[in-house]
Structure formats: structure tokens, C-alpha cells
Amino acid sequence: MNRKSPIRHALLLKVLLGLVVIGGLGGTAIVYTLSRGSAGDNVPVDDRFKVKVTTFDMAIPATGELEALNSVEIRNQVDGKTVIKWIIDEGSRVKEGDLLVELSSDDIVNRIEEETLSVEAARNDLFSAQQAVELQVSQNESTKGKAQLAVDLAELELKRWQEGEVATKRKDIEVRLQLAVRNADQRKEDYENSEMLFKEGFISKSELVTDENRLDEAKAELEKALLAKRIYEEYEYPKDEKSKTSDVDEAKVEYDRVVSANERNLQQKKADLTNRERQLSIRETRLQKFQDQLAACTIKAPSDGLVVYGSSVGRNPWRRDPPLQIGQEVYSNQLLIILPDTSAMVASVRVHETQSSRVKVGMPATVKIDAVSKLQLKATVRSVGVMAEQTGMGSQVREFTIRLLIEGANEWDLKPSMRCKADIILGRVEDALAVPIQAVYVERGKSYVWVPSGASMWKKEPVSTGRNSETMIEIKSGLKAGDMVLLRPPTPGEIAG
């Protein structure tokens, strides 16, 4: 203790001398005395920073909530509106096949009963139409066969007439004509002989007259035979030929008419059959739809998962839907339940649109869960949102959604919608001269910091900056390790003149 006393006396003597100087020189001596200390020591520690070489991560902070990597959405598949009859408690863990929701189905059951009757009536109509087609096919075959038979008979009649009656008729006419010719020739010869005999007196006049009469009769018979032949060939044959040919033509025309009528009738029956088939198909489709709707009233878990109501998800801060409950009316395609698979989790966070372009898939990140203190998880950027979203009603802030895949299995029983914070690591700055980012100011495109200028005074010092994080920024020139910088704007009284 005795050895330190001279030092204390010397310090005390200096203080006294300083006070004497103060008395003689006024405030100037005060500035001099304070300037003898370290620059900036009079500023609180929290307001100043000593420049140093350090390593820091370039990171973008973000906030959001947890989501399951894989989840199944359960939506209401019943058309129109319906009412919840029963619903499983939110937060329950279910297995595949467990009942989740049961919706009211009374109206659908009534419609199924009505449509079942319509389907049966349509099936009966279809059966009748099928029978009508089969009957028409049978009738067509019958009438077509009859028409074809009439054609065949008319053609056979024509052939029989041509090859039978005509030949026979012509043969008869030819025979009679030949007989008449021979008879006429014979009578002529007899008459000529009788004339010679009469002239010589061998026969009487009466015998000559008799032979002459016979000659006249023979000539008359010959003329009749010739006339009969001419009449037949010129009149009777053409008439009969036209009659027989006309019968064939009429039979063929009738055949064509029958075939056309058959085809028309069959097409009508087939069209009616097609219409009945379509009506039955429509009825069956409607019945199947109602049956599917009835099945959709009973919703079971398609996979294992944690029950989360659809009313509990979403990021609409100014609208909160009430939780689903028995008796509540729900509409078609409404999200009822989400079954997240919580074995793998994702942090869905949001970053400002000005920072989104810096985030790339595959970048590392760290995630902290608000509800689980001191838990910091490693993650990787899985996806970057395509479009920015407005953060709230009336807000001009737009953010992109970033999905971070948390590494490892969910052994901490993390649940969807848990709030979280994340740092997305853009890169790492190794062994760089750096200061807190709030120490650097920008004026007219140039950066500067505040450095000491005597006791309690600060001045601008231009600096060149490099990479930065949300908290630190690299200094490329203008400062050196150990320099002091001010972490806040100086007051007017602290700015050096």
C-alpha cells in the first residue's frame, strides 16, 4: 500500500494543476484535458463498435409457419349445399380408412329412389325398342321375300310364255298355214284336172262346180291361216309380250318399294332404339352420380395423418372462418379437412419482394420454432413462390413465399401452423473487415461512417462497402481493424466542425 501512495499523490497533483489551468484559461483547458482520453470513450458501449476482421453469414430473415411436406386435402364432393351430421375432432390422429366426416344424405337418398324408378322405366322402353327392331327385321325379311317371289314368278311367267305359249302358238299357226297351203294347192290341182276332164266330157258340170267350190274353200282357209299368222305376230304377240314384261317390271318396282319401306321402317325403329339407349344411359349416369354423391357423404381417411380443419388454414388475417361443427352448412368443393403427414415438415416463410430474387433453390437455412425454445433446425430452400402476395388488407407490402425443407424426421412432434423464424443463408463472408450494417450511411450514392474526431466529436469517413447480411457489412476500404465507428446518428453537438 505504501508503494502506491506516491503514484496516487502524483495523480492528485496533476488533477490540481488541471483545475488551476481551468481557472486561468476557461473551457479550453477542459477540451484539452478530455482529449487526453481514448476517442469515443464517452459514448455508451452499445452506441459504438470497434472495427474488426470477422466471419459472418449473409442471411435473409423471414417469418412464417410450419407445414407438412406432404398432405391430403379432403374436400366436399357433394353438389350444392349440405349439412355436417358428424365430424371428427380436430387434432386427432387417424389411420387410413377411419371415418372423418358424415354429411346429410336424406335428399340424395330420395333422388336415388326416384331415379331408380326412371332407370327401370327406361330399361323397359329400351327392351320394347329392341323387340320392335327385331320384329321389323323379321317383317322386312318376310315382305322382301314375298316381293322377290313375285319378281321371280313374273320372270318365270314371261319365260314360260316366251318359250312355251309363243312357240306353241306359232307352231300351231304354222301347221295350219302349211295345211291350208297344201290343201289349196291340192284343190287347185283337182280343179284344173276337173276342167280338163269336163272339156273332154268325162265329168259333169256339177262335178266341176263342186271342185271349184272346194278350191274356193281351200283359198279361204289359206287366207284365214295367213290372216291368223299376221294378227298374232302383229297384235297378239306384242300385246302379250308387253303384258308379261309389264308384270315383271311391276314386280321389280314393288320389290324396290318394299325394300325401301323396310329400310325406312327399320331405320325408324333403330333411331327409336338409339334414343332409348341414350335415355337409359342418361338415367343410369344420373343414378350413378347420385350414388357417388351418397358415397361422398361418408368421408374416410385416404391415408394416415393429423386432422386439421380447413377453416383453420389460410393466411387471411382479416377473416377467420368459424371451426367446422355438427349442423354447419358446407358447400361443394369446400376444403373440410387436411391430413398432413407430419413425418416431414416444411417451413413456409415469406420474404419481401425486393429480396426474393436473391433466394435460390438449394440454399441452406436455419429454422427456429417459436413454441420450442432453443430448437434450431437445419433446412434447405425447396421452392420459391412465383408471384408475390399482399400481406394484409390495405397493405402495400408484397412478399414471396419460400418453402424450406427441414432436415431429418419430425422427432420433436412439430405440427402444422406453428409459428417459426428462419434465416436463409445466401452465402458466407470469410475473414473480412466488417462493421454492423447500421453504422454505414449512404448519401448521394456514396457510403460513409461516423468516426471519432477528438473527444466527444465525430466526423464522416467515406468507405467502400462489399457483401452484407442483415446485420453486418463488409468494409473494403476507408477503415482498418481497431477503428471506432458510431452505431447511431450523432447529435448536432457531436458533429465535428
Other beta carbons less than 10 A from residue 495's beta carbon: 14
Nearest to 151 by CA among 240, 247, 243: 247
Nearest to 382 by CA among 418, 419, 416, 344: 344
| Cα distances (angstroms) measured from residue 477 to each of 432, 447, 471, 474 | 11, 11, 19, 9
Per-residue confidence (pLDDT) for residue 320, from 0 to 100: 58
CATH topology of domain 109-294: Helix Hairpins (1.10.287)
**Cell 358446407, located at residue:** 330
**Cell 450494417, located at residue:** 437
Q: Judge if pTM exceeds 0.85.
A: no
Give the H/E segment covering residue 453.
none
The CATH superfamily holding the domain 45-101+307-494 is: Efflux pump adaptor protein, beta barrel domain (2.40.30.170)
The Cα–Cα gap between 176 and 19 comes to: 187
Per-residue confidence (pLDDT) for residue 27, from 0 to 100: 34
Residues in the chain: 497
Per-residue confidence (pLDDT) for residue 11, from 0 to 100: 33
Per-residue confidence (pLDDT) for residue 36, from 0 to 100: 33
* Backbone phi and psi for residue 214, each to the nearest 5 degrees, phi listed first: -65, -35
Burial of 272 (0-12, 13-18, 19+ CB in 10 A): middle
Ranges of each domain in the chain: 5-35, 45-101+307-494, 109-294
Nearest to 439 by CA among 452, 453, 421: 452
pLDDT tens string, the chain, 497 residues long: the values are 333 333 333 333 333 333 333 333 333 333 323 333 345 566 788 888 999 999 988 888 899 999 888 889 999 999 999 999 999 999 898 999 999 999 999 999 999 999 999 999 999 999 999 999 999 999 999 999 999 999 999 999 999 998 888 889 999 999 999 999 999 999 999 989 999 998 988 888 899 899 899 999 999 999 999 999 999 899 999 999 999 999 999 999 999 999 999 999 999 999 999 999 999 999 999 999 999 999 999 999 998 888 989 887 754 544 556 788 999 999 999 999 999 888 889 999 999 888 888 899 999 999 999 988 888 999 999 999 888 787 665 567 789 999 999 998 888 888 888 899 999 998 888 999 999 999 999 988 899 999 998 777 899 999 999 988 878 899 999 999 999 999 999 998 888 87
Nearest to 166 by CA among 249, 247, 240: 240
| Cα distances (angstroms) measured from residue 491 to each of 325, 475, 486 | 61, 24, 11
DSSP states of 189-245 as a string? HHHHHHHHHHHHTSS-HHHHHHHHHHHHHHHHHHHHHHHHHHHIIIIIHHHHHHHHH
Per-residue confidence (pLDDT) for residue 319, from 0 to 100: 52
